[in-house]
Chains A and B, each alone.
Chain A
Amino acid sequence: MTRARPADYPQAAAATLRDTPEVRDAVTAATRTFDTHRRESWAQIDAERWRDWCRDVKDHVLTHLDDLLEQAEVRLVANGATVHWAEGAYDALATLGRIVDAEGVRRVVKAKSMLTEELGVNTFLEGRGVHVRETDLGEYIIQLLGEPPSHIVGPAIHRSVDDCRRLFHRHFGTPLDATPEALAATARQALREEFLAADLGISGCNFLVAETGTLALIENEGNIRLSTSAPRVHVAFVGIEKILPRMVDLSGFLQITARGATGQPIGTYVSLIRGPRGEGESDGPEQVHVVLVDNGRTTLLADDVAWETLRCVRCGACLNICPVYRQTGGHPYGFTYSGPIGAILAPALLGLEEAMPLPFASSLCGACADVCPVRIPIPDLLLHWRARAVEAGLTPLGERVAMRAYAAAAERPGGFSGAGSLLRYVPWKRGGRALPVLGGWSAERDPPEISARPFHKLWREGIE
């Protein structure tokens, strides 16, 4: 299945709600559970002070990124890893291609990673005839379905257990009433064989600690540990904003990220990787390659308003609480990252024109800002991109003209009550289509009840 583009969001969201209403039910139920766990978990700690601290650490990182990246590189090289720098997706994939060729790689296992989704790693490898297997259970399910992830943390969040029963029945012949445990056991069996046969393991990275050159990876299933240790070669793709200065910072971020994502005090498995297998060590890869990826991040860092987006730790808390995201899940956004964080990352990473209308796909309710563990002011940044879109002439001409006329009327006392009284003459019964914006209203709702007399007339007549 090819992924829609952001421009298709209005139609794709409408189609999801109309044709697959069960997606709304599945996504709403799962995100409400995630969010409940997050809330309970934050209540156990002094969450507001943790959030301040995490924001401050990330701000330090983003204002010292050049030094910290060089420090991380020096440490990684000293640990025996190979460091590559990639400006764009093309460079990152080319680096991967060179490793694949040099090592004669035929089979790859992948740990869950949003950055590799952003870069298009699977498509690239498959195009070169390399077998790629996702090993996170949710990623495995959507890979079998041929779908992109619908959520940063729970990629198959839009799918029910019954969907999985049917899928596994088709692929493995498991019974249609198999228990979730039986399905997981089937996947585990299939994946064990993949781990043992793979020449290369690919992962992302949650945090890269500069002072020690340590890659930190959080997970619950153990597949990341296997993907990064069983194959001969490990390639980690790391967004340059993933840096943390010290190990002591990592201890805080491991906790706030797990608490924000699923409400766990810490991930079930945390892998700390410093480099390849050392002398006398019995396991671990022979080679570790760390690809530091920019892909639009330094451009975002140079934006004096939107740079705060780079604090994101990809916990998904903003998706889980977002009432807009809950309606459809992530697919209609047409971008790797969906929900509130996707709506402010898309204009930064794709360019604003390509990202339209995602910055507008929010009611600005502000719930996301309440839960972001690194305090990204998401509603303000949505407004920022909207203002940029207006400046760039990317909003509909009719809307621009109407807004200018509206503002002019609002400056003229009396003129506005005249304009406002137009509401009385809207032919609501015919869908209100005489005024373009009101057609959208009447498609889904009854028209509002217009007051018999506007308040300013009541006032003039006297209020008892």
Chain B
Amino acid sequence: MRVALFATCLGDRLFADACADAVRLLRRLGCDVAFPEAQTCCGQPAFNAGYVAEARRMARHTMRVFADADHVVLPSGSCAGMLHRYYPDFFEGAERVRAGQLAGRTWELSQFLVRVLGVVDLGGGLRGRRVAYHHGCHALRELGVHDEPVSLLRAGGAEVVPWEADQECCGFGGLFSTKFPPVSAGMADRKLESLPAVDVVTSADGGCLMQMAGRAGRRGFATPFRHLASLLLEATA
């Protein structure tokens, strides 16, 4: 299976190891992984801030970069949601058709593993680990990714500990986090205050992890935050 990895701008700079883990994981599952080096940003930061023209330029660029990919896999539910849910709305005519086709070939990593590769069990490398899973809003609502990451973690031997606020927003929201810092921090606090005793917190989205880890660090929480791609690779060990 030929797969093109879209590392995303946040992944490239802040979660490089998780992106590398995603490559290792996909290869271990028999995928031929490509990384088109002309890729940049999906345009979501601009789009969410109201800059539709700028977002459209970035979407057009991204569509060119991944035009030949059989499947585009992202270690981010939010960026995958951008391609899947919003790209077609930016265009008309043939370009809209192409955007729709790309949307249909775009997957968040765990979604790709379960729905396309049919993976049920990656191995038992997470045995004995207590894990809290944060459902990123866009993975959950724009992609409908809910069971995939949790079932893979469980099959890997992890105990996915119930977390009252696991489907509540962490407060990141791109520029929202910098426009209204105290409100955004209060939202992260709700996540942290309700967090059960676990060894690690994980999510399919780097942005959420950055937000929660940043606030946890400021408030002196010791629980580590790790990207889902890295934990799923560990499951195969």
A2 contacts B by Cβ under 8 Å = no
Known: A364-B176, A383-B48. A450 touches B13 (CB 8 A): yes
Question: How far is A14 from B180 in the complex, measured between Cα atoms in Å?
Answer: 8
Of B104-112, B122-130, B150-158, B214-222, the one touching chain A? B214-222
Question: How far is A383 from B169 in the complex, measured between Cα atoms in Å?
Answer: 17
A449 / chain B contacts, CB cutoff of 8 Å: 14, 213
Interface centre among B14, B57, B182, B187 (most CB of A within 10 A): B182
Contact bitstring B164-178, A, C-beta under 8 A = 1, else 0: 000011011101111
A417 / chain B contacts, CB cutoff of 8 Å: 12
A18 / chain B contacts, CB cutoff of 8 Å: 182
Q: Say yes or no: A387 contacts B50, CB within 8 Å.
A: yes
B190 / chain A contacts, CB cutoff of 8 Å: 28, 323, 326
Question: How far is A302 from B12 in the complex, measured between Cα atoms in Å?
Answer: 44
A409 / chain B contacts, CB cutoff of 8 Å: 40
Question: How far is A243 from B183 in the complex, measured between Cα atoms in Å?
Answer: 37
Set A13, A441, A446, A453: member contacting B183, Cβ < 8 A = A13
A362 contacts B by Cβ under 8 Å = yes
A354 contacts B by Cβ under 8 Å = no
Set B12, B60, B61, B183: member contacting A456, Cβ < 8 A = B12
B61 / chain A contacts, CB cutoff of 8 Å: 410-411
B171 / chain A contacts, CB cutoff of 8 Å: 323, 363
Q: Nearest CB to that of A13 among chain B residues?
A: B183
Question: How far is A9 from B17 in the complex, measured between Cα atoms in Å?
Answer: 39
B199 contacts A by Cβ under 8 Å = no
A161: min CB distance to chain B, Å: 22
Known: A420-B13, A437-B178, A451-B16. A366 touches B141 (CB 8 A): yes
B44: min CB distance to chain A, Å: 10
Known: A363-B187, A455-B7. A441 touches B181 (CB 8 A): yes
A370 contacts B by Cβ under 8 Å = yes
A360 contacts B by Cβ under 8 Å = yes
B31 contacts A by Cβ under 8 Å = no
B229: min CB distance to chain A, Å: 11
Question: How far is A416 from B188 in the complex, measured between Cα atoms in Å?
Answer: 30
A445 contacts B by Cβ under 8 Å = yes
Set B7, B39, B47, B168: member contacting A383, Cβ < 8 A = B47
State which residues 419-458 of A face B: CB under 8 Å: 420-421, 423-424, 437-441, 443-458
Interface centre among B11, B19, B49, B138 (most CB of A within 10 A): B49
Set A14, A24, A446, A459: member contacting B217, Cβ < 8 A = A446
Q: Say yes or no: A440 contacts B177, CB within 8 Å.
A: yes
Q: Say yes or no: B47 contacts A423, CB within 8 Å.
A: no
Q: Say yes or no: B41 contacts A17, CB within 8 Å.
A: no
Q: Say yes or no: A365 contacts B169, CB within 8 Å.
A: yes
Known: A323-B190, A362-B176, A407-B54. A444 touches B41 (CB 8 A): no
A399 contacts B by Cβ under 8 Å = yes
State which residues 76-112 of B face A: CB under 8 Å: none
Chain B, interface size category, equals: 35 or more
Contact bitstring A240-259, B, C-beta under 8 A = 1, else 0: 00000000000000000000
Question: How far is A417 from B8 in the complex, measured between Cα atoms in Å?
Answer: 11
Q: Say yes or no: B181 contacts A455, CB within 8 Å.
A: no
Question: How far is A407 from B20 in the complex, measured between Cα atoms in Å?
Answer: 26
A327 contacts B by Cβ under 8 Å = yes
A90 contacts B by Cβ under 8 Å = no
A413 / chain B contacts, CB cutoff of 8 Å: 37-40
B24 / chain A contacts, CB cutoff of 8 Å: 463-464
Q: Nearest CB to that of A9 among chain B residues?
A: B180
Q: Say yes or no: B58 contacts A411, CB within 8 Å.
A: yes
Question: How far is A420 from B10 in the complex, measured between Cα atoms in Å?
Answer: 9
A216 contacts B by Cβ under 8 Å = no
B195 contacts A by Cβ under 8 Å = no
Main SS of the interface on chain B?
A: helix
A399 / chain B contacts, CB cutoff of 8 Å: 49, 175
Q: Say yes or no: B169 contacts A443, CB within 8 Å.
A: no
Q: Say yes or no: A448 contacts B169, CB within 8 Å.
A: no
B46 contacts A by Cβ under 8 Å = yes
Q: Nearest CB to that of A416 among chain B residues?
A: B40
A88 contacts B by Cβ under 8 Å = no
A406 contacts B by Cβ under 8 Å = yes
A389 contacts B by Cβ under 8 Å = yes
B142 contacts A by Cβ under 8 Å = yes
Question: How far is A399 from B23 in the complex, measured between Cα atoms in Å?
Answer: 35
Question: How far is A370 from B58 in the complex, measured between Cα atoms in Å?
Answer: 29
Set B14, B35, B50: member contacting A386, Cβ < 8 A = B50
Q: Say yes or no: B176 contacts A360, CB within 8 Å.
A: yes
Q: Nearest CB to that of A328 among chain B residues?
A: B183
Question: How far is A10 from B178 in the complex, measured between Cα atoms in Å?
Answer: 11
Q: Nearest CB to that of B34 among chain A residues?
A: A459
Q: Say yes or no: A367 contacts B13, CB within 8 Å.
A: no
A361 contacts B by Cβ under 8 Å = yes
Set A367, A420, A445: member contacting B169, Cβ < 8 A = A367
A94 contacts B by Cβ under 8 Å = no
Q: Say yes or no: A363 contacts B16, CB within 8 Å.
A: no
Q: Say yes or no: A365 contacts B137, CB within 8 Å.
A: yes
A444 / chain B contacts, CB cutoff of 8 Å: 181-182, 184-185, 215, 218
Q: Say yes or no: B181 contacts A363, CB within 8 Å.
A: no
A395 contacts B by Cβ under 8 Å = yes
Q: Nearest CB to that of B164 among chain A residues?
A: A32
Known: A363-B176, A383-B47, A448-B210. A420 touches B12 (CB 8 A): yes
B60 / chain A contacts, CB cutoff of 8 Å: 411
Known: A444-B215, A446-B214. A366 touches B46 (CB 8 A): no
Q: Say yes or no: B211 contacts A445, CB within 8 Å.
A: yes
20 contacts between A and B (CB under 8 A): A18-B182, A323-B171, A323-B190, A326-B190, A327-B186, A360-B49, A361-B183, A363-B137, A365-B137, A387-B51, A390-B50, A395-B50, A407-B57, A411-B58, A420-B12, A424-B13, A440-B180, A444-B215, A446-B218, A459-B35
Other A-B contacts than A364-B176, A446-B213, 8 sampled, CB-CB below 8 A, are A362-B176, A363-B187, A387-B50, A403-B49, A420-B12, A445-B214, A456-B7, A459-B35
Q: In the A-B complex, list the 4 residue pairs whose CB atoms are closest, starting with the nearest.
A: A363-B173, A386-B50, A445-B214, A446-B217
